[in-house]
Amino acid sequence: MDGQVAIREVQKNYGSFKALDGVSLDIEPGEFVTLLGPSGSGKTTLLNVLAGFTRPDSGSVKMDGVEFLTLPPHKRDLGMVFQSYALFPHMSVLKNVGYPLKLRKVAKGEIDRRARAALDVVKMGHLADRDIGALSGGQRQRVALARAMVFEPKILLMDEPLSALDKNLREHMQIELKRLHDQLGTTTVYVTHDQREALTMSDRIAVINNGTLVQYDTPSRLYDHPVNRFVAEFIGESGFLPVEVREGRLTLFGEPVVSRDPWRGDTRAWMLVRPEKLAWREPEGPANRVDATVCEAIYQGDSFLLDLVLPDGGTIDVRCNPHTANIAIPSSGDKISFWISRDNTVLVEGEA
């Protein structure tokens, strides 16, 4: 299958600011890869480099083994969906979708046929003759998608395409986009700052921060085995407990830490606290125990958010469902303990 992308050492500086600092990334044919990061991390710059809108200082992008970076945007043959959709207001829906075919000198009747077919795929066939102004946000999204794929590009690029939609529609479109990707099998590069969206849709996620690639992994490995505190913090709900490292021995509030993976770092480590991976009653087998005082218990409908004071005086917010945890509803001043079993213990490095 076509559509294999090899990104190598892409560097882009704006003055002394490094927007992209030597990013390398491999994307397999047909893969759905998400570039995930906070705003200003360089993820959009990287997408623009792929699309040809930003010219990096150096680097290489090869598609199926052919250098791609030095081609102008219109010779790259890739479909792009913008955050603002960027549908042409002076053309009808059908004209918009037919535009890339017209540029490729496809015969008139063929343009119509293929444009309508593409609109059918995104369930917009019945609105082909509408004006762009008459469409809702979700409909525009579908038209933009149809326009990006009508000419069967080898890669689809999407720049936060769902961020302008409201929450319900966004979740619906996520599933639909994923189904469409399974159906078409086009290599897709997707940019978002929404970690849940990334987890939902991607085969692999590239976490980007400060212009560098922090971790490139499947959603489950990113969630369960983040390489550092940044990734752990960015993906999923998380809290951190300080772990002392002295001559290879790890301690948490004075108690030795039990964990499966050996720790290679030498300074300070953080124990990752995920609400669904801790126990509020002592589990069987080895576990790390934490004693804390409830400072405040905030009711949030399906659960409580506990603001806990740790033995060292620090604080941590932990979500707790008293019913599934099988404990009394906590109130301010209560002493409370929780355990993280050895298998669930994840240690990460990084700045606080």
Partner 1 sequence: MLNTPVTETQITHANRLWLYAVVTLVTIFLVVPCILVVPMSFSASEYLEFPPSELSLRWYRAFLGSPEWLGALWTSIKVAVPVTFIATALGTAAAWGLHRRFGLLFTLSRSLYMLPMLVPLILIAVGVFFVYARLGINGTIGGLIAAHTMLALPFVLIAVGNGLTSFDMNQHQVSRSLGASEFVAFFTVTLPQIRISVLSGAVFAFVTSFDEVVVALYISSGKNETLTRRMFSNIRDQVDPTVAAISSLLVSVVIIGMVLFLLLRKEEA
Partner 2 sequence: MIAETSLSVTPRRSPRRPLNAQTLRVQARRERLGRIGLTLPGSILICVVLLIPVGWLFYLSAFDAAGNLTWANYERLGRSLYLRSFFTTFRVAGIVTLLTVLMGYPVAYMMSHARPRMATVILVAVMLPFWTSVLVRTYAWLVLLQRTGLVNGWLQSLGLTNEPLALVHNELGTIIGMTHVMLPFLILPLYASMKAVDPALMKAAANCGATPAQAFRQVYFPQTIAGLGAGAGLVFVLCLGFFVTPVLLGGGRVYMWAMQIGDNISLYGNWGSASALGVVLVLATGLVLFAIRILLKLAGGPR
User: Where does this chain bind partner 1 (CB under 8 A)?
Assistant: 51-53, 72-74, 76-80, 82, 84, 86, 88-90, 99-100, 103-104, 147-148, 151, 157
Helix (H) or strand (E) holding 323: helix 322-325
Q: Among residues 139, 152, 159, which one has the least CA distance to residue 81?
A: 159
The HSE-up count of residue 110 (CA atoms within 13 Å, CB side) is 9
Instruction: Name which of partner 1, partner 2, none residue 157 binds, using a CB cut-off of 5 to 8 Å depending on partner kind.
Output: partner 1
CB 165 within 8 A of CB 173: yes
- Sites for partner 2 among residues 10-69 (CB under 8 A): 11, 21-24, 26, 28, 30-31, 55-60, 67, 69
Residue 5 touches which member of partner 2, partner 1, none, C-beta under 5-8 Å by kind: none
Give the relative orientation of helices 108-121 and 93-103 as an angle to the nearest 10 degrees.
120
User: Which one among 17, 134, 172, 218 touches partner 2, defined by CB under 8 A?
Assistant: 218
Tokens 């109130």 locate to: 331
Element (H, E) at 322: helix 322-325
Count of beta carbons in the 10 Å neighbourhood of residue 31: 19
Q: Measured from the CB of residue 9, what is the shortest distance to partner 2 in angstroms?
A: 6
Out of 170, 204, 274, 319, which residue is the one contacting partner 2 (CB under 8 A)? 204
24/300 with CB nearer partner 2: 24
Partner from partner 1, partner 2, none contacting 217, C-beta within 5 to 8 A by type: partner 2
User: Smallest distance, Å, CB 195 to partner 1?
Assistant: 25
DSSP H helices in 77-235:
93-103, 108-121, 137-149, 167-184, 195-201, 219-224, 229-234
Give which of partner 2, partner 1, none residue 103 binds (C-beta under 5 to 8 Å, depending on kind). Answer: partner 1
- Residue 221 touches which of partner 2, partner 1, none (Cβ within 5-8 Å per kind): partner 2
Tell me, residue by residue from 219 to 258, as one string, x for binding to partner 2 by CB under 8 A and - for no binding: --x-----xx------------------------------
Q: How many residues does the chain have?
A: 352
